[in-house]
């Protein structure tokens, strides 16, 4: 950080840009992966494939937006995968009873309610969110199995799957929703009271409390946002697939956390941004897509992703150390 301050004094734009890159190093990483895959596969850098990457990345991306809010707060939400499965099951399962849009609305509401429940439990019980939402992860998944009767639910009318089939060039509606939400939440973080409170609570909860911030209410709001975004993701997924599988979104919470952490948002809270998260999400999507284009076996893909995550974190640590001296 002291690097930044001396830079400002010396007034060099180049070095200010460099220090921005040091803090948002994920974009360098992203550029690097894009370059590698472009050279490795002729199919990679095509408008069509880029569109695919953005759409595939958007699902984890929407989850990652909520996760970023919760993580800057110094908390974590492991239940997003299960929540998205429930929202998707409700949005499809209820269509025959109450119609398409009411069903979608109920799906959204279920996500908000579960997020609210997570937040309330964390804020009021004083238990760590890791434990609370781990319970949520298992419990909500159980609920999904009960509701679906362990079967995949099918949409009664396939016009439902055409709703998100709107494209802006190669960019899908889903991707646009992701970017829209990401920009909106970045604005919340940087320009609103709630955003400011998020950083304060995550960095120094005592100071935030003494400054008169209602820490409990604040955390409940962010968990509710996170749950709602998980439901948004689940509904978009149900529209894309036309079915709601009880196993949908399994271990997606892990991919989400990986994307956020890869971006540079810190697990211990107080630091991060949506710019970082967008970078993390895109890097993850590019890696998955690129490895598949190269016909990499699934298990090798997992190994590469694991290695990349560790590498990114090591890089983060090194940069931080350099900033500190």
Partner 1 sequence: MSQAILKVEGITKTFPGVKALDNVSFDIRPGEVHALVGENGAGKSTLMKTLAGLHRCDGGEIFYQGAPLSLSGPLDARRKGILLIHQELSLSPELSVAENIYLGAWQTNRFGMLKKRELRRNATTALEALGCGFGPDVRLGTLSVAMQQMVEIARAEAFSANVVIFDEPTASLTDSEKDQLFQTIRGLKARGVGIVYISHKMDEIFDITDRITVLRDGQVQGTVDTADTDLNQITRMMIGRTLDAYFVKAKAEFGDEVLRVEGLSKRGLFSDASFSVRQGEVLGLYGLVGAGRSELVETVFGVRRADAGRLFWKGREIDWPTPRQSIDMGMALVPESRKEQGLVLMMGGRENTSLPHLRRFSDLTVMNRAREMAVYEKYRSALSIKTTGPDQAVSQLSGGNQQKFVLAKWLCAEPGLIILDEPTRGIDVGSKSAIHELIADLAEQGLAVIVISSEMPEVLGVSHRVLAMSEGSIVAEFKGDAMTEEHLIDSVSHAREPVAAE
Per CB under 8 A, residues contacting partner 1 are: 1-6, 8-9, 191-197, 199-200, 203-204, 206-214, 270-271, 325
Q: Which residues pair with 167 in a beta bridge?
A: 172
Question: 280: exposed, middle or buried (C-beta count within 10 Å: 0-12, 13-18, 19+)?
Answer: buried
Min dist. Cβ of residue 271 to partner 1 (A): 6
Min dist. Cβ of residue 158 to partner 1 (A): 41
Question: CB within 8 A of 171, min separation 6: which ones?
Answer: 51, 54
Min dist. Cβ of residue 262 to partner 1 (A): 20
Contact between 80 and 311 under an 8 Å Cβ cutoff? The reply is no
Give the Cα separation of 126 and 123 in Å (integer). 6
Min dist. Cβ of residue 200 to partner 1 (A): 5
By beta-carbon proximity to partner 1, the closer residue of 63 and 123 is 123
By beta-carbon proximity to partner 1, the closer residue of 195 and 249 is 195
By beta-carbon proximity to partner 1, the closer residue of 3 and 313 is 3
Min dist. Cβ of residue 4 to partner 1 (A): 8
By beta-carbon proximity to partner 1, the closer residue of 124 and 168 is 124
Other beta carbons less than 10 A from residue 75's beta carbon: 26
Give the Cα separation of 295 and 282 in Å (integer). 20
By beta-carbon proximity to partner 1, the closer residue of 60 and 201 is 201
DSSP 249-265: TTTHHHHHHHHHHHHT-
Give the Cα separation of 67 and 115 in Å (integer). 11
């Amino acid at each position: 950080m002291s690097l930044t301050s001396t830079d400002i004094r010396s007034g060099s734009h180049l070095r200010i840009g460099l220090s921005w890159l040091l803090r948002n190093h994920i974009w360098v990483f992203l550029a690097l992966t894009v370059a590698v895959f472009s050279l490795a596969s002729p199919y990679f850098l095509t408008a069509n494939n880029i569109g695919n990457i953005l759409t595939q990345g958007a699902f984890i991306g929407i989850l990652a937006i909520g996760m970023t809010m919760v993580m800057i707060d110094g908390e974590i939400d492991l239940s997003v995968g299960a929540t998205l499965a429930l929202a998707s099951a409700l949005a499809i399962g209820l269509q025959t009873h109450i119609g398409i849009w009411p069903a979608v609305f109920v799906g959204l509401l279920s996500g908000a309610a579960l997020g609210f429940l997570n937040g309330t439990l964390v804020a009021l019980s004083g238990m760590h969110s890791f434990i609370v939402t781990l319970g949520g992860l298992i419990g909500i998944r159980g609920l999904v199995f009960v509701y679906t009767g362990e079967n995949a639910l099918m949409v009664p009318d396939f016009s439902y799957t055409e709703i998100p089939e709107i494209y802006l060039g190669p960019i899908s509606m889903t991707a646009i929703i992701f970017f829209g939400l990401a920009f909106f939440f970045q604005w919340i973080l940087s320009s609103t009271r709630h955003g400011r409170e998020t950083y304060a609570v995550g960095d120094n909860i005592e100071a935030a409390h003494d400054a008169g911030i209602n820490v409990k209410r604040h955390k409940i709001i962010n968990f509710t946002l996170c749950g709602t975004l998980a439901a948004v993701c689940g509904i978009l997924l149900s529209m894309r697939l036309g079915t709601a599988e009880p196993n949908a979104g399994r271990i997606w919470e892990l991919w989400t956390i990986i994307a956020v952490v890869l971006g540079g948002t810190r697990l211990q809270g107080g630091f991060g941004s949506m710019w970082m998260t967008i970078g993390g999400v895109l890097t993850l999507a590019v890696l998955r897509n690129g490895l598949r284009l190269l016909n990499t076996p699934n298990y090798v893909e997992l190994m590469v992703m694991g290695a990349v995550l560790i590498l990114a974190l090591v890089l983060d640590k090194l940069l931080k150390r350099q900033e500190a001296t």
